[in-house]
């Protein structure tokens, strides 16, 4: 790190990534105040020394920075502006870090007149969050970024300022677009292999060890090989949301992205089939045709 984190930090939202970030800060000796809509998720962090708050405004009381790591724009708006929200009674005096993946323009709209806001796209999984190995891409005023740098460098091995507010979300959507397409391509290849009589396990092992495999494909190949999609690294419904956001961003600037559009449609269909809370690799189950029934 180039500096130290000054004062307690609030973590709002204790899903896969938020819980990892809070654990990392506690391990580094940073006082942490946490809040989660479902209070049952706060217990492990409370045992590790975190203060559990009753609502977001209570969580940020006396803190120098607040990390918002909730699932979507609606949840982020509620955390910031809802009853007992962070900004419900006026500006937050610390640095407000929006690490929830939302539409880039939505960050500006939700943040409103808050003076010190960054949007941060996080690249990595829960292990990276817990171990301080994330790659973090931030948008916002450079002075705010410089003030938050010690905190961000506690959480990530690479910290990059991209430009104006919304830039972090734009980078995050690009990265998730690539991951969504790659994982679906791997799932499609695997289903085709099985349908053609090839050994699925051998095919996945071959792909994972080949020059075609990105680290993500090698990682997700283990999910596909096991057929287990519980305890998700990244929920399928969140991937569907991000692919839709990327497609909408493309339409806004007049681009046609056929692969992104197709992947978004597949992930939305998989979510509608009840796979939304499983790992995004469960998209493979949306590729298998359902057996026909007699009428």
The domain ranges of the chain are 9-164, 171-286
pTM: 0.89
Does the pLDDT at position 28 exceed 80?
Answer: yes
237-281 pLDDT, tens digit per residue, is: 999 999 999 999 999 999 999 999 999 999 999 999 999 999 999
Q: Which of 172, 220, 248, 290 is catalytic?
A: 172
Q: Cα(244)–Cα(169) distance, rounded to whole angstroms?
A: 14
Express each pLDDT in 103-149 by its tens digit.
998 888 888 778 899 999 999 999 999 999 999 999 999 999 999 99
**53-85 burial code (b ≥16 CB/10 A, e <16):** bebbbebbeebbbbbbbbbbbebbbbbbebebb
Other Cβ atoms closer than 10 A to 125: 18
pLDDT for the residue 2: 40
Is domain 171-286 given the CATH code 1.10.1040.10 in the classification?
A: yes
User: Would strands 134-139 and 117-123 be described as parallel, antiparallel, or unpaired?
Assistant: antiparallel
pLDDT band at 190 (very low <50, low <70, confident <90, very high): very high
Task: With cut-offs at 50, 70 and 90, classify the pLDDT of residue 293.
Answer: low
The whole-number pLDDT of residue 175 equals 95
Catalytic residue list contains 172: yes
pLDDT of residue 292: 56
Q: Any idea which of 27-36, 50-59, 154-163, 209-218 has the lowest mean pLDDT?
A: 209-218
Q: Calculate what percentage of the chain has a pLDDT beyond 70.
A: 96
Helices (H), 82-166: 104-111, 126-131, 142-155
Same fold, 9-164 and 171-286: no
Q: What is the pLDDT of residue 1?
A: 37
Q: What is the CATH number of domain 9-164?
A: 3.40.50.720
Cα angle for residues 268, 269, 273 (degrees, 5° grid): 115
- Return the bridge partners of 271, or none: none
- Mean pLDDT over 2-17 rounds to 84
């Amino acid at each position: 790190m180039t500096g130290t984190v000054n004062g307690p930090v609030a973590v709002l939202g204790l899903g896969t990534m938020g819980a990892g970030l809070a654990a990392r800060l506690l391990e580094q000796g940073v006082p942490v105040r946490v809040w989660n809509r479902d209070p049952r998720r706060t217990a492990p962090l409370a045992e590790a020394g975190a203060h559990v708050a009753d609502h977001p405004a209570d969580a940020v009381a006396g803190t120098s920075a607040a990390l918002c790591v909730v699932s979507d724009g609606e949840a982020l708006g509620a955390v910031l502006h809802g009853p007992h929200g962070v900004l419900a009674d006026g500006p937050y005096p610390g640095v407000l870090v929006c690490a929830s993946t939302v539409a880039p323009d939505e960050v500006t709209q939700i943040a409103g007149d808050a003076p010190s806001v960054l949007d941060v796209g996080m690249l990595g999984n829960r292990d990276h969050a817990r171990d301080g190995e994330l790659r973090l891409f931030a948008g916002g005023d450079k002075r705010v970024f410089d003030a938050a740098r010690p905190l961000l460098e506690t959480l990530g091995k690479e910290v990059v300022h991209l430009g104006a507010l919304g830039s972090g979300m734009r980078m995050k959507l690009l990265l998730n677009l690539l991951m969504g397409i790659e994982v679906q391509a791997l799932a499609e290849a695997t289903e085709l292999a099985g349908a053609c009589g090839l050994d699925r396990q051998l095919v996945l092992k071959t792909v994972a060890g080949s020059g075609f495999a990105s680290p993500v494909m090698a990682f997700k190949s283990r999910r596909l090989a096991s057929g287990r999609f519980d305890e998700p690294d990244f929920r399928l419904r969140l991937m569907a949301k991000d692919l839709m956001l990327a497609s909408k961003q493309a339409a806004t600037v007049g681009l046609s992205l056929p692969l992104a559009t197709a992947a978004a449609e597949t992930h939305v269909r998989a979510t509608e089939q009840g796979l939304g809370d499983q790992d995004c690799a469960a998209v493979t189950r949306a590729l298998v045709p359902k057996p026909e029934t007699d009428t």
